[in-house]
Amino acid sequence: MISAAIDTTALWETVVAAFVAGVGTTIVFSLAILGASRFTEASRAGNRAHAGQFGTLAVLGLLATAAAVVFGVIVMTSK
Amino acid sequence: MSESDLILGIVVATALAFDVTNGFHDTANVVATSISTRAMSPRIAVGYAAILNFAGAFISLEVAATVAKDVVDAGAITTSVIFAGLIGAIAWNLVTWYYGLPSSSSHALIGGVVGATIAAVGTSAVFGEGILSKVLIPAVIAPVLAFVVGAIGIVAAYRIVGRQRPGTVTRGFRLGQVVSGGLLALAHGTNDAQKTMGVITLALVANGNLPSTGFEVPTWVIVSSATAIALGTYSGGWRIIKTMGTRIIKMDAAQGFSAQGAGAAVILASSHFGFPLSTTQVIAGGVMGAGAGKRVSAVRWGVAGNIVTAWLLTLPAAAGIGALTYGFVELFPDAVGPVIVSAIGLGLVAYAFVRRLRRPEALPA
């Protein structure tokens, strides 16, 4: 009776979506900070190759974070 | 104006008053993390949260539908029942606000309405399955989920940025908190303003202004609820900011980002499926997770225990006050009961505010 009343699919989807979004956003934003930090160091050391790589990592991390935020809001408004 | 319309007017005003108390009671939890890590000054954080609360109220109506349809039988209750339930919720909100306990406004609201309904009609008008599946089980899962997400998030963040310069990392996460704090405020507006929308819609059904099946939330209800929660947010809740921001754990910016990200993700995902969560419980879970992920002993478990105790008391306490209020209201004919209770309530609120203003707890602007 009780298990029949519980919408386990919705609960499970909530758990998975919250986990992926919460942990994923923290990871990609941390990568953006790592990229920015190492970009600064590499630039100061004159290492252009490393600076380029870490600069790209920073930009990609920021873009992924922004995409996660926009996607979250779109999912909310789509129902 | 008929007697029933007068009671409906009092119920709508009371519901919006609840929304204001919800704003200053709950949204403090939303901004506390940004303030404690100095990502934002208190005044800017509160103003920012108020704007995003207002915007968030327009995002979804799933939670409003749950409150209006899945908790009690809208066709079996009266506006007096809803009024008594709201008084139960507001009274409990104010008691916990006065003592600085971040309890759940959502559970206070649902507890108050359920208590008043049981007193008026009996348990037959209460949807036990709806409350179990849409309120109680998510209430247990959500804070635990936020705890886990916050803990794993901060462990991952420290592994990635652990060897970088602390100044750069702190500045980066503080900047990130502007986004994560905003998302959390948006999520709060989405989930919490909808509870008031649901209750006002329930009152409109009970009064015959909307059909008991297939109804929709009117636009004026959405706009007024959004405005009320934003005003409540802007007025602030400094006592609870202090409890949430410094007494559970001392946070760094990375922990603040992880806690807010966890809270926003859980609330937005739950709102999508129509679960009326306690944002207080979720953000506290995220904060504790971000603290425990760094060091388990960093969490002040005694304070966390007080918060858990307040949560456990919320449903029965609000239900009890709601039931007693309904009994009192029914002693008088027509709208006399709600008018007397409203007058007493306003007097008590004014008294509580005056007492609190005599002992201000200033935070730097």
pLDDT in tens, B40-83: 887 788 888 889 889 988 887 778 878 878 888 887 788 888 89
Question: Rounded to whole angstroms, how far apart are CA atoms B326 and B81?
Answer: 6
Mutate: best of A1, A31, A33, partner B, most B CBs <10 A:
A33
pLDDT score, position A27: 96
pLDDT surpasses 50 at B365:
no
Question: Rounded to whole angstroms, how far apart are CA atoms B262 and B289?
Answer: 9
Residue of B301, B296, B185 whose CA lies nearest to B247: B301
CB B220, CB B228: distance < 8 Å: no
User: What are the tens digits of pLDDT across the range B89-119?
Assistant: 888 888 887 777 767 888 888 899 999 999 9
* Lowest pLDDT segment from A21-35, A61-75, B255-269, B337-351: B337-351
Of how many residues is chain A composed?
79
pLDDT surpasses 70 at B359:
no
Which residues 13-72 of A are in CB contact (within 8 Å) with B? 13-15, 17-19, 21-23, 25-27, 29-34, 36-38, 40, 65, 69, 72
pLDDT surpasses 80 at B16:
yes
CB < 8 Å to A30, chain B: 156-157, 160-161, 254
Residue of B100, B75, B20 whose CA lies nearest to B210: B75
Question: Taking CB atoms and an 8 Å limit, are B190 and A76 in contact across chains?
Answer: yes
Question: Rounded to whole angstroms, how far apart are CA atoms B198 and B216?
Answer: 10
Q: In the structure encoding, which two tokens stand for residue B228, read together? A: 């009320």
Question: Rounded to whole angstroms, how far apart are CA atoms B129 and B312?
Answer: 20
**What are φ and ψ of residue B72, in 5° steps?**
-130, 160
Chain A nearest C-alpha distance from B325 (Å): 31
Residue B130, helix vs strand vs coil: helix
Indicate the pTM of the whole model: 0.82
Question: Rounded to whole angstroms, how far apart are CA atoms B74 and B117?
Answer: 10
CB B24, CB B237: distance < 8 Å: yes
Chain B nearest C-alpha distance from A18 (Å): 5
CB B190, CB A64: distance < 8 Å: no
Chain A nearest C-alpha distance from B186 (Å): 9
Q: In the structure encoding, which two tokens stand for residue B342, read together? A: 């409203």
